[in-house]
């Protein structure tokens, strides 16, 4: 798909992307995770490289194989690992797109030995993880900062609230209500929301959705 007249709108730009789930260890053999595959974030990373960007992809445990070899890949496991890797790249980034499904809670105690089966009930105490996106929102200088919102109800209202609360330039609302959208599918239906306006796109494959998202971000260049 190389084309001599292909334009490279992201040439000279450093783009940080987080993607995939995180795994929070309970003991050496168990974790708390989620159903994210990382496909949407990886599609954005692949497309950003094609458009000439230097891409740093901070990727949680994902089985996805289709990752462009020109991407700087930072593989992580937990929310805390993802936080460290993202912070390390943020200062020098021009654009940051945080699409990862980060665990909001992690076990307070990560048992050093396998937890044995004992009583009928087991209670795990969980503590909050750091909100990576909100932290970057506080540190933001030149960067264009984009978040994702996965909502099941009051979608627009909840997404706009996240946009404001986390000091973002844009947020991609991902609707789980739409058939063929969200986790594990090859298609997605999004609304791109900025403080000024919102634009809804039809159901498309994730590569096309990635192109739409990057085109909207380019319009926000400061
Ligand atoms: N996010 C993050 N770090 C976290 C939690 C979320 O960077 N610890 C980011 C996600 O990558 C996404 C955005 O914040 O870009 C919104 O995530 P979401 O789970 O929809 O929102 P939360 O703020 O965690 O709120 P809730 O889960 O209660 O809806
Ligand atoms: Ca969350």
Please report the ipTM that was assigned to this predicted complex: 0.99
Could you tell me the distance, in angstroms and rounded to a whole number, from the CA of residue 87 to the centre of ligand 2?
18
- Please tell me the distance between residue 162's alpha carbon and the centre of ligand 2 in angstroms: 11
Q: What is the pLDDT of residues 90-129, one digit of tens each?
A: 999 999 999 999 999 999 999 999 999 988 899 999 999 9
- Ligand 2: distance of its center to the CA of 160 in Å? 15
- 80 has pLDDT over 90: yes
- The residue whose C-alpha atom lies closest to atom 16 belonging to ligand 1 is 149
Is any atom of ligand 1 closer than 6 Å to the C-beta of 149? yes
Calculate how far, in angstroms, residue 16's C-alpha sits from the geometric centre of ligand 1.
Answer: 16
Query: How far, in Å, CA of 21 to CA of 60, rounded?
Result: 5
pLDDT at 5: 47
Active site residues: 34
Q: Which numbered ligand comes closest to the C-alpha of 60?
A: 1
**What is the tens place of the pLDDT at every residue in 132-189?**
999 999 999 999 999 999 888 899 999 999 999 999 999 999 877 666 666 778 899 9
Residue 119, judged by CB atoms within 10 A of its CB (0-12, 13-18, 19+), counts as: exposed
> d(Cα 215, Cα 193) in Å, to the nearest integer?
13
pTM summary value? 0.95
Provide, rounded to the nearest whole percent, the portion of the chain with pLDDT above 70: 94
What ligand is nearest to the CA atom of residue 133? Answer: 1
Best CA proximity match to 175, nearest among 160, 163, 191 = 191
Q: Token match 């084309």: residue?
A: 3
Host H or E run for residue 218: helix 206-218
Residue 91's Cα: distance from chain center in Å? 18
Confidence of residue 2 (pLDDT cuts 50, 70, 90): low
Q: Tokens at residue 76, please?
A: 């992580």
Closest ligand 1 atom to residue 104 Cα is 8
**What residues contact residue 126 under an 8 Å CB cut-off, 6+ apart?**
32, 105, 106, 107, 108
Which residue, judged by its Cα, is nearest atom 23 of ligand 1? Answer: 162
């Amino acid at each position: 798909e190389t084309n001599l007249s292909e334009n490279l709108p992201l040439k000279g730009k450093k783009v940080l992307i987080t993607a995939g789930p995180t795994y929070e260890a309970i003991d050496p053999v168990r974790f708390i995770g989620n159903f994210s595959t990382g496909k949407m974030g990886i599609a954005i990373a692949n497309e950003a490289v094609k458009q000439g960007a230097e891409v740093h992809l901070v990727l949680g445990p994902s089985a996805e194989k289709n990752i462009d070899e020109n991407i700087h890949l930072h593989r992580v496991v937990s929310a805390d690992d993802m936080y460290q890797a993202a912070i390390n790249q943020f200062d020098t980034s021009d654009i940051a797109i945080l699409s990862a499904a980060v665990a909001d809670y992690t076990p307070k105690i990560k048992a050093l030995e396998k937890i044995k089966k004992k009583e009928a009930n087991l209670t795990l105490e969980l503590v909050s993880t750091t909100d990576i996106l909100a932290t970057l929102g506080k540190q933001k200088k030149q960067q264009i900062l984009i978040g994702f919102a996965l909502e099941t109800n009051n979608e627009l209202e909840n997404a706009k609230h996240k946009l404001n609360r986390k000091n973002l330039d844009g947020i991609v609302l991902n609707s789980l209500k739409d058939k063929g959208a969200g986790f594990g599918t090859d298609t997605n239906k999004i609304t791109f929301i900025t403080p000024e306006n919102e634009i809804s796109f039809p159901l498309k494959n994730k590569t096309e959705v990635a192109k739409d998202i990057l085109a909207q971000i380019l319009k926000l260049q400061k």
